[in-house]
């Protein structure tokens, strides 16, 4: 892959990220995410889907998003660049 990345170059990028020590892969090996599936399903109130509509996002996936968001913001908060109340 030289110059601008093409549509089908994503596999090469994933290989290079893995070789460089992708932090998301490390996080996935350390945390067993499915442990959180039952407590999240119990805590979330979901409709039965009888009215139709779009299926809900997977609760474990949304939990992963929240964890990643916290990990990204944490260095800025610790450095005092972002104020928390």
CA geometry: angle at 18 spanning 13 and 71, to 5°?
Answer: 100
pLDDT, greater one: 81 or 22 = 22
Q: For the chain, what's the residue count? A: 85
Neighbours of 33 (CB within 10 A): 14
Of 11-15, 20-24, 77-81, where does mean pLDDT reach its minimum?
77-81
Domain ranges of the chain: 10-46+55-78
pLDDT digits (tens, 9 = 90+) for 35-64: 999 999 899 887 777 788 887 889 999 999
pLDDT band at 12 (very low <50, low <70, confident <90, very high): confident
pLDDT digits (tens, 9 = 90+) for 62-79: 999 999 888 887 776 666
pLDDT, greater one: 18 or 82 = 18
């Amino acid at each position: 892959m030289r110059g601008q990345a093409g549509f089908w170059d994503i596999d090469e990028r994933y290989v290079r990220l893995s070789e460089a020590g992708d932090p998301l892969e490390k996080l996935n090996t350390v945390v067993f995410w499915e442990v959180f599936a039952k407590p999240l399903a119990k805590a979330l109130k979901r409709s039965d889907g009888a009215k139709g509509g779009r299926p809900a996002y997977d609760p474990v996936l949304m939990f992963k998003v929240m964890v990643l968001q916290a990990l990204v913001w944490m260095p800025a908060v610790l450095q005092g660049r972002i104020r928390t109340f």
